[in-house]
Structure 1
Amino acid sequence: MNQMPKEYYDLLHQLQAIDFVLVDLALYLNTHPNDYEAIRQFNERSLERRKLKKQFETQFGPLQQYGNSYSQYPWDWSKTPWPWQV
């Protein structure tokens, strides 16, 4: 498998970090549904994640299947590596 550029790993690391924060905030909000500040943080991180995901997918291809990520032309799902392979 070919080595990917440094930006690939940097963006993937940022996405993983934001995903961790979003999971943590979601778990917290399950027990504290009226915490306005936590909801604000969750929404901010969600927006940040969408932007990073779009940037990653524009440069390196889709992250998710089943309509959660767009495909470029030609169909590019067979390109490697998959994010979980790096």
Structure 2
Amino acid sequence: MRYSTRSRLRQLDEDTKRRLRLRAAANGRSMEFEAREILRSTLDAPQRADLTWIEMLQQAAVQVGGVDLETAPDTPATAADFRNETDPAQTR
């Protein structure tokens, strides 16, 4: 069974209609065909997933060829001393 759909764009503002008309003319197409092509190409484009800010930063680094960062030497942390020096019960 073949389904037929009719497409009609309504309530487009004048500027959008004008831009569609100019784009269609530049491509030698009707406005209807141009609108279909715009929809088709947009829907065929890969969808971008929502990325966290860290992933977006990683993507930006990949796009510019990577970023070399110096790595700090791995040294153990010193233990914290929470004893109260003024409290005689805590001093040994």
TM-score bracket for the superposition, by shorter chain length? 0.3 to 0.5
Between Structure 1 and Structure 2, which shows a larger proportion of helix residues? 1
Give the TM-score normalised by the residue count of structure 1.
0.33
Give the TM-score normalised by the residue count of structure 2.
0.31
Larger radius of gyration: 2
Higher RCO by CA contacts (8 Å cutoff, separation 6 or greater) = 1
